[in-house]
Homo-oligomer: A and B are copies of this chain.
Amino acid sequence: MIGQTPDRLKSRKPRAFDLGGSARWLEAHMRTVIRRGPLSARERGLADRLMQLKREAGSHSPSAPTILKMIPELRMRVDACFLSNPYATELFLDHLYREVIRPGKLRMLLELYPSQNRVIAAKLATALDLPTERLFVGNGAIEIIQAILHRFTGPKLLVNLPTFSPYYEFARPDTQVVYNVLRKEDDFHFDVGEYIQTVRREKPDTIILINPNNPDGGYIPHAKLVAMLEELRDVPNILVDESFLHFACEGEGFAYHSLTRDLDRFPNLMVVKSMSKDFGVAGIRAGYAVMSPERVKALLDNGYLWNSSGLAEYFFDLYSRPEFHADYERKRIHYIRHSRRFFKALTNLPGVHAYPTHANFALLELRRDDMTAEDLVCRLLVRRGIYTRACDDKKGLEPGRFIRVASRTRSENRYILRGLKEALR
């Protein structure tokens, strides 16, 4: 539950998180009867203000806090727009309270300068078992995406569609962006052979892949990707964004396969990773890239000296500890398990196609004419407090048809599912 603490919890000792309380609230709310039929004038007014905020946010969704601030009458219950593992957030907060806040050590993290980039990279090197000189720590993955596009990309950039929009929006004005369109008819499947043909034809100096892809969740298996990298050794810059990789498993178990182990063989490869999704800590802005030592040096030679906050440094400290890693792995597997059930349930919604996903969200297509994506998003938020993402602004997706829904906690997912069923009835 977002933004507000239920009254009965207020007198309790403040806790890092109130998901327990929130889950109970959601269960109770599920049993209440929600008015059916078209939106009332008041609800329509809220929906209009929401759409106005959305337009102002450009090709991104306004954040939950922005919505709560600008439309205080709105009661947001579940942020299913936000793509993160909420159990990992709890794990981080639990450590932060125990090790930093309760012992009165927060001041040090907020008052003093955090360490320099290379010092934090050394902590991360321990966590990832990679050499420090290959690691570049960013103020969120977005800073690294910008750095690569501005510093390494040349005249031509190849981007898949649909994609995360900064991959084309952040290109320099002198970079031409060309697209490889993934088709909904093929469930946005990435065809390696077709892609290599496109690369041969367009001759881009930089190619970008998100694996699993955002916003559809499509996944290219590790072996297939490595084989493709062998073919594309002549492309100067290959950026693979693995921000959602921790949710993508191959084979029977829950193992994921990162390209960071293959960097020795591919000096043209740069692997970018956000910490916001798998660790659920978007607010601390932490990300990293693994790339050739020459590229890391080029970036650090004239910039990015103090680009991590004290809390991001604390996060990377935690991440380098094996016991935190083990706890995190349990949270990751728990989250994947119930996310899979959620995604399966989404495939049974009436008049909707749920695309296959290997990420922690699902792309839904409305295959009916009585409702647009915007209608559905507004209805879910205004009536049920469920915030989802209309994808009308996503290049490569037909406007009015697509929404993206994140998997949250188990009880939140049940609540989202019920909200969707109700809205689509």
In the assembled complex, which residues on chain B have CB atoms less than 8 Å from the CB atom of A139? 139, 143, 285, 307, 309
B310-A283 in contact (CB<8A): yes
Docked complex: A84-120 residues within 8 A CB-CB of B: 84, 86, 89, 92-93, 96, 101-116, 119
In the assembled complex, which residues on chain B have CB atoms less than 8 Å from the CB atom of A307? 139-140, 142-143, 285
A79, CB-defined interface residue at 8 Å: yes
User: Among the listed B112, B119, B149, B312, which residue makes an inter-chain contact with A282, where contact means beta carbons less than 8 Å apart?
Assistant: B112
A2, CB-defined interface residue at 8 Å: yes
Surface stretch bound by B, among A63-71, A191-199, A252-260: A63-71
Q: How large is the interface on A (under 10, 10 to 19, 20 to 34, 35 or more residues)?
A: 35 or more
Taking CB as reference atom, which chain B residue is nearest A2? B108
User: Among the listed B116, B140, B302, which residue makes an inter-chain contact with A169, where contact means beta carbons less than 8 Å apart?
Assistant: B302
CA distance A290 to B312 in the complex (A): 27
CA distance A116 to B66 in the complex (A): 9
B111-A170 in contact (CB<8A): no
In the assembled complex, which residues on chain B have CB atoms less than 8 Å from the CB atom of A106? 16, 93, 101
Docked complex: A114-168 residues within 8 A CB-CB of B: 114-116, 119, 139-140, 142-143, 146, 149-150, 166
Taking CB as reference atom, which chain B residue is nearest A286? B309
B302-A170 in contact (CB<8A): yes
B140-A306 in contact (CB<8A): yes
A280, CB-defined interface residue at 8 Å: yes
In the assembled complex, which residues on chain B have CB atoms less than 8 Å from the CB atom of A105? 5
Q: How far is the CB of A412 from chain B (nearest CB, A)?
A: 13
Taking CB as reference atom, which chain B residue is nearest A110? B283
B66-A115 in contact (CB<8A): yes
CA distance A107 to B1 in the complex (A): 11
A113-B309 in contact (CB<8A): no
In the assembled complex, which residues on chain B have CB atoms less than 8 Å from the CB atom of A350? none
A104-B63 in contact (CB<8A): no
A361, CB-defined interface residue at 8 Å: no
B112-A63 in contact (CB<8A): yes
B146-A303 in contact (CB<8A): yes
> Chain A 263-293, CB within 8 Å of chain B: the 1/0 string?
0000000000000100011111100000000
In the assembled complex, which residues on chain B have CB atoms less than 8 Å from the CB atom of A114? 63, 65, 282-283, 285
A303-B150 in contact (CB<8A): yes
A173, CB-defined interface residue at 8 Å: yes
In the assembled complex, which residues on chain B have CB atoms less than 8 Å from the CB atom of A109? 283
Taking CB as reference atom, which chain B residue is nearest A165? B305
CA distance A57 to B149 in the complex (A): 28
A57-B116 in contact (CB<8A): yes
> Known interface pairs A107-B89, A112-B79. Does A146 touch B304 (Cβ–Cβ under 8 Å)?
yes
A311, CB-defined interface residue at 8 Å: yes
In the assembled complex, which residues on chain B have CB atoms less than 8 Å from the CB atom of A280? 111
> Known interface pairs A5-B103, A108-B2, A283-B310. Does A305 touch B113 (Cβ–Cβ under 8 Å)?
no
> Chain A 1-30, CB within 8 Å of chain B: the 1/0 string?
011010001100011111000000000000
> Known interface pairs A104-B5, A302-B171. Does A113 touch B14 (Cβ–Cβ under 8 Å)?
no
Q: How far is the CB of A107 from chain B (nearest CB, A)?
A: 5
Taking CB as reference atom, which chain B residue is nearest A312? B309
User: Among the listed B96, B104, B149, B284, which residue makes an inter-chain contact with A309, where contact means beta carbons less than 8 Å apart?
Assistant: B284
Q: How far is the CB of A143 from chain B (nearest CB, A)?
A: 7
* 28 residue pairs bridging A and B, Cβ less than 8 Å apart: A2-B108, A3-B108, A5-B103, A16-B107, A57-B116, A63-B116, A64-B108, A64-B112, A66-B115, A89-B110, A93-B110, A109-B283, A110-B283, A110-B311, A114-B285, A139-B139, A139-B143, A139-B285, A139-B307, A140-B307, A143-B307, A146-B304, A149-B302, A150-B302, A170-B302, A171-B302, A285-B307, A309-B312
List the 3 closest A-B pairs by CB distance, nearest first: A283-B310, A14-B104, A110-B283
Chain A residues with a Cβ under 8 A of chain B: 2-3, 5, 9-10, 14-18, 57-58, 60, 63-66, 79, 82, 84, 86, 89, 92-93, 96, 101-116, 119, 139-140, 142-143, 146, 149-150, 166, 169-173, 276, 280-285, 302-312
